[in-house]
Amino acid sequence: MPTITIIETGVISLPNRALHGSFPQMFERLLGEADPSASFVTVRLADGEALPDPAGLEAILLTGSPAGVYDDLDWIAPLERFVRAAYEAKIPMAGICFGHQLIAQALGGTVRKSEKGWGIGRHVYDVVPGNGVIDGEKIAIAASHQDQVIAPPTGATTIFRSEFTPHAGLLYANGTAMSVQPHPEFTVPFAHVCCDKAGQNSAPEALVATAKASLDQPLDNAGLGRAIARFLARPHKA
């Protein structure tokens, strides 16, 4: 398994970090369970750490963030350049939630706040047959987002979808980058935290209650975690 460089694009509050871990810690747990040989390096981009040269990396993962990819933040344009350089060099790369949207936007797709509103709680997605990344017919994962990929980049393939999120998972044209909208790294308790947070940020009370109740049903985190780990372990094609 290659060393996975985690680009931390969002910082969890100290109280929640103490209870649930940081985004990189969540991914280390998820991907470490999928492949115990995995090793990790974190770049704390949201805290001001500089991005490395992607050509020297073995595998890359972009985390979620409370930021929007269209926000006027000084680290977003450099991150888009980093993604394009990694893609050009064919470094295996995955993005989750904000990372999903950032990769799509960097490679020419369209991202915006969806008129459908908040996507929170357990979401069930239809897996596109023969997608080459994810097995099975359906997958259930916790979500927490308002923004969506509205139009994927040219050549990208949707690998799973729902009526609420038509492009919930993408495989990009050169085959070395993938991204997903939901959060396989979330524990159920942290998914509840995110539902409450959405309620503090305009999500209707009834939606929050329904979303929290949905988390009583099983999630397919481990299966999606294994799929991401397999993808990041694919041989470098450059």
Instruction: Answer whether residue 205 is part of any domain.
Output: yes
| pLDDT recorded at residue 1 | 75
Confidence check: pLDDT of 43 > 80: yes
Instruction: Answer whether residue 237 is part of any domain.
Output: no
d(CA 221, CA 214): 15
In this prediction, residue 17 has a pLDDT band, given cuts at 50, 70 and 90, of: confident
- Here the CATH number for the domain that contains residue 67 is 3.40.50.880
| pLDDT recorded at residue 234 | 81
Selecting among 8, 20, 28, 97, the annotated active-site residue is 97
| pLDDT recorded at residue 2 | 87
| pLDDT recorded at residue 220 | 96
Domain range holding 57? 3-232
Number of domains within the chain:
1
183 among known catalytic residues: yes
List Cβ neighbours of 201 (8 Å cut-off, separation of 6 or more). none
Selecting among 100, 123, 145, 183, the annotated active-site residue is 183
Selecting among 20, 145, 185, 194, the annotated active-site residue is 185
CB of 217 within 8 A of CB of 139? Answer: no
185 among known catalytic residues: yes
Find the Cα–Cα–Cα–Cα dihedral 184, 186, 192, 196, rounded to 10°: -90
Instruction: Answer whether residue 177 is part of any domain.
Output: yes
Instruction: Answer whether residue 238 is part of any domain.
Output: no
- Element (DSSP H or E) covering residue 120: strand 119-127
Tens of pLDDT, residue by residue over 51-92, are 999 999 999 999 999 889 999 899 999 999 999 999 999 999
d(CA 196, CA 13): 14
Tens of pLDDT, residue by residue over 155-175, are 999 999 999 999 999 999 999
| pTM (2 d.p.) | 0.95
Return phi, psi of residue 126, to 5°. Answer: -85, 125
